[in-house]
Amino acid sequence: MVKFLLFAILLISTFGLGSWAYKINYESRAASQRVKSLEKAILSAKKERKILEAEWAHLNNPDRLRKLVEYYFRELRLTPINPDNFISFSEIYLNKDIEKTPAASLGTSFSEMGYDK
């Protein structure tokens, strides 16, 4: 009777350990698949980033921008930036007590400005 009980416990523990190993095996395969898919996603994001950086470099090419400024000069009236266009930080007037009045209430209404005409 003890041999039968010992054999039954051994058989049940063998099946239990086997099912546990089976479960762990498939969980590890699923985790490996997730890692591979994330690596592919990271690789494609890096490729897309490189493409976007190349497009950005092309779009901000000074020669290309200069040609666009010349082409659309009449419509946009763009002028080159000069050092005279900038002021130092100490010249900025930072007064937070200035009354914040909407521009429309400073004396002319929108109907007088010609927007409705």
Q: Would the pTM of this model clear 0.75, i.e. be above it?
A: no
Per-residue pLDDT in tens (0 to 9) along the chain, 117 residues: 888 999 999 999 999 999 999 999 999 999 999 999 999 999 999 999 999 999 999 999 999 988 988 888 888 887 777 888 888 877 777 665 555 555 544 444 444 444 443
Locate 46 and state its tokens.
């890096």
Locate 105 and state its tokens.
């209430």
Residue 30: per-residue pLDDT: 96
How many angstroms separate the Cα of 14 from the Cα of each of 3, 4, 9, 10, 25?
A: 16, 15, 8, 6, 16
Residue 86: per-residue pLDDT: 83
Q: What is the number of residues in the chain?
A: 117
Contact (CB, 8 A) for 52 and 46: no
Give the integer Cα–Cα distance in Å for 69 and 49: 28
> Which alpha helices (H) appear in 1-117, and where do they start and end?
2-59, 62-71, 73-76, 110-113
How many angstroms separate the Cα of 105 from the Cα of each of 84, 96, 98, 100, 109?
A: 33, 20, 15, 11, 7
